[in-house]
Amino acid sequence: MSLASSRRADTPPHLGDPALLAALTLASAAVARLDAATALHPLLPALLHRTRLDAARRQAAADGHLIDPWHLAAALEGLPLRAMRDSERIMDAGAIQDAARLALDYHGWLAAPDEDAEEEIRAALAALEGQRPYGVPLLDAAWGAWCWLERGGTRPPLRAALVRRWGAVGVLRAPLPLTGAAALGPDQPWDPPLWIPAFLRAVAAEAGTALDLLIEMERRWLAARAAVAAGRRSTSRAPAAVDLLAAVPLVSATTLAAALGMSVKAACAILDELVRLEVAVEVTHRHSRRLFGLAGLAPLRQAAAPPRRPLPGRGRGRPREVPAAVEVPPEILAPAPPPRAGPLERRAFDYGDLEAAMQAVDAAIRKTRAGLARLARSGSADADAAGGGDPACPTDRSPR
């Protein structure tokens, strides 16, 4: 370590720096709002799952491995990577496989670290606890993170340690993955007076994204539950299927069947019915291995759309000019979102199926991680064996 680096590591930025104070104010407010909204919220397990996957994806991107969030969700459900090539994304199937494997490895650090990882996380947590120059939890953690990395510590245990540190000092009651991943991107400054505010701004952005996701999940979930509950028997499994769709970005009939203890054929019937009710959308447009998402929370429907085919009778040449569209007010283009639910509305629903859904999701992640590891060892580029897959549940459309 150079003398200049040694001096920097011994002297944290001055608390009176306006940029530092502004970033601290922003992060403190964003984290406080998130903590207040998630405390005792019934959808917290689902939010944890979604935010951990998104955090792992952001962390992989900061480390130079880009993966589309919906490619990652599709990989978890066993969609073969050759099927992803139709989406014309920026990476080939092999690169997607590598990025997915790295993202799931990062997810393991956050959700279920093994014994070796646990030891490294404890070391990073001890390093964070030993750095308290400000007496302000967010600032102390930021400075501790900089010192850990400056002295050669690695990123994955630090990120997991930060999540635990937030809980230990009372910043967050839930283990939400606020790790400031964007502050470690290749274009970020490393001098502490610049990096620490960047880290705090990244934490604030992650907190804001998580809060927005929770609000949207709650709205969509309650609307879907109300739509499927009308006129059904008490033994219907459709409400439980809605719970699983709220918990995960994408779901296959195989995962739904495992979560609800039913046959794949019955799970297919439920998913098709939810599509007819416009509660769910099919996102893959495939004959088999179909994946579904909760309406309003599944943008892969556009990202994974099949290639456009020429219109019958249309010749070659440039497309004909289309007259400029008349400007339409935004309130006409998109309906207003349903109002946010209150505690009494949330209490009207049974959340018992959510726990079983999350167990099925965790099992799918473990299976996918093991499958990707096997593929890496064998050097195969095909991801058919990486997840559960869904060869059943065919549509009445011809194969694409």
Confidence of residue 170 (pLDDT cuts 50, 70, 90): very high
Q: Could you report the per-residue pLDDT of 59-87, keeping only the tens digit for each?
A: 988 888 887 777 777 777 666 544 444 44
> What percentage of the chain has pLDDT greater than the value 70?
64
Q: What is the pLDDT of residue 107?
A: 87
Please name the residue that has the structure tokens 């459709």.
Answer: 238
Q: Where is mean pLDDT largest: 20-24, 241-245, 321-325?
A: 20-24
Q: Could you report the per-residue pLDDT of 171-227, keeping only the tens digit for each?
A: 999 999 999 999 998 889 999 999 999 999 999 999 999 999 999 888 888 888 888
- The pair of structure tokens assigned to 284 is 């893959």
Q: What is the pLDDT of residue 66?
A: 82
Residues of the domain holding 105: 13-210
Q: What is the largest CA-CA distance in the chain?
A: 74
Sign of the dihedral defined by the CA atoms of residues 220, 307, 60, 97, in that order: positive
3-state class (DSSP) for residue 292: strand
Q: What is the mean pLDDT of residues 296-300?
A: 62
Q: What is the pLDDT of residue 15?
A: 82
Q: Could you report the per-residue pLDDT of 340-370, keeping only the tens digit for each?
A: 555 534 444 455 556 666 666 666 677 766 7
Helix (H) or strand (E) run with residue 159 in it: helix 155-168
3-state class (DSSP) for residue 340: coil
Q: Could you report the per-residue pLDDT of 367-387, keeping only the tens digit for each?
A: 766 766 665 666 544 444 444
Backbone phi, psi, residue 93, to 5°: -65, -40
Sign of the dihedral defined by the CA atoms of residues 218, 223, 228, 231, in that order: positive
Confidence of residue 304 (pLDDT cuts 50, 70, 90): very low
Q: Would residue 249 count as lying in a domain?
A: no
Burial (CB count <10 Å: 0-12, 13-18, 19+), residue 47: buried
Q: What is the pLDDT of residue 307?
A: 37
Contact status, residue 176 vs residue 38, Cβ threshold 8 Å: yes
Cα-based angle 15, 20, 21 (whole degrees, multiple of 5): 75
Q: What is the mean pLDDT of residues 282-286?
A: 70
Q: Domain count of the chain?
A: 1
Q: What is the pLDDT of residue 287?
A: 59
Q: Would residue 294 count as lying in a domain?
A: no
Q: What is the pLDDT of residue 357?
A: 62
Q: What is the pLDDT of residue 84?
A: 45
Q: Would residue 41 count as lying in a domain?
A: yes
Q: Would residue 342 count as lying in a domain?
A: no
Confidence of residue 292 (pLDDT cuts 50, 70, 90): confident
Q: What is the mean pLDDT of residues 162-168?
A: 96
User: How far apart are the C-alpha atoms of 254 and 236, rounded to whole Å?
Assistant: 18
Backbone phi, psi, residue 308, to 5°: -70, 140
Q: Would residue 306 count as lying in a domain?
A: no
Q: Would residue 257 count as lying in a domain?
A: no
CA terminus-to-terminus distance, the chain: 57
Half-sphere exposure of 358 (CA within 13 A, CB side): 16
Q: Could you report the per-residue pLDDT of 383-394, keeping only the tens digit for each?
A: 444 444 455 565
Cα-based angle 292, 297, 302 (whole degrees, multiple of 5): 70
Q: Would residue 59 count as lying in a domain?
A: yes
Q: What is the pLDDT of residue 163?
A: 96
User: How far apart are the C-alpha atoms of 124 and 198, rounded to whole Å?
Assistant: 21
Q: Would residue 206 count as lying in a domain?
A: yes
Among 30-39, 247-256, 280-289, the least confident range: 280-289
Q: Examine the pLDDT at 314 and tell me if it is beyond 50.
A: no
